[in-house]
Structure 1
């Protein structure tokens, strides 16, 4: 199953990145499909990725030393590693119960460095900065480029 994991750049750029579990991730769930029944797979995946970007903001709020960029990892994990949540905060939320290593990562999506000030402000609760971030698309990186993702 394709999942979108909110992470921080510091967590991702470890020597050997393994995203520990359990952790909340986002995917194309039945609840997400029901919310937007006229959408297609691409639209549902975009919505799940956007929810993961919001989750990355929450991680940054609790990790002030991490680079102020939203980071989302797209990964393909076995269905057995994904569980539904009893009370999901958003329709795309799931729990990944297995560690995710580099071999499962498909791509990485990161804010451009120019967004850092808005990301920091949004992580601190600035509503105007949150709205500005909603207008920004995350940049796409191949997993072989993780070490080259600029922190600022």
Structure 2
């Protein structure tokens, strides 16, 4: 099953990269996937559109992780493949996206790719956590307007995050 895992730059340090693949030991945590509920809610979307909706939900959750921790202020989504039986319905109680799932236990996931904000987005991401309520919509829009950069699994060690030495 393909998962879109909201993450932080710190999570990238745990990705193990070899010449042939990248793996990440994912513990119990929330993620997003193409679920039957998501597919039903988007009847006019093709497979790619439904996948994009699940990915966008992970991007949104990544912003929450960044604002809640002492990490580089960049959104990160790690796309992985895991066995179907490693994933279950989300246990979250409120405001749950139809794509929300939970990784049920520790699993070695195969990393497909990573999406990360460009380093210049850091100021916009930080602004979301520091603006007054009246300015929040504008600050959020500045972040939403930014595209995340795509990196192949083989490029994980070269992703600029601003909080670790880049190769």
TM-score, normalised via structure 2 length: 0.81
Gaps of 5+ in 2: 17-22, 163-167
- Equivalent residue number for residue 150 of structure 1: 160
> Deviation digits for residues 41-61 of structure 1, max 9, x if unmatched?
111111111110111111112
Q: Does 1:23 align with 2:29?
A: yes
Please state whether the residue corresponding to 1:104 is helix, strand or coil: strand
Residue correspondence of structure 1 range 101-140 to structure 2 within 5 A: 101=108, 104-124=110-130, 126-140=136-150
| Aligned 8 A contact 2:114 2:153 in 1 | yes
Aligned residues: 150
Once the two structures are TM-superposed, the CA of residue 121 in structure 1 deviates from its matched residue by: 2.0
| Alignment TM-score, normalising by the size of structure 1 | 0.88
Aligned partner of 1:37 in structure 2 is 43
Q: 1:129 to 1:19 in 2, by over 3 A?
A: farther
Structure 1 residues 53-81: Cα deviation after superposition (integer angstroms, max 9, x where no partner)? 111111112213x1111000011111001
Shift of the alpha carbon at 1:123? 4.3
Residue 6 of structure 2 corresponds to which residue in structure 1?
A: 6
Structure 1: runs of 5 or more not aligned: none
The Cα of 1:146 is off from its aligned counterpart by: 1.2
- Report how far residue 130 of structure 1 moved: 1.5
Q: Cα 1:146–1:100, aligned 2, differ >3 Å: closer, same or farther? A: farther
Match of 2:59 in 1: 53
Out of 88, 93, 105, the position equivalent to 2:100 is: 93
Larger radius of gyration: 2
- Contact residue 60 and residue 123 of structure 1 kept, 8 A: no
Separation (CA, whole Å) in 2 of partners of 1:112 and 1:56: 14
Runs (4+) of structure 1 exceeding 4 A deviation are: none
- Aligned residues: CA RMSD: 2.0
Return the offset for 1:35: 1.4
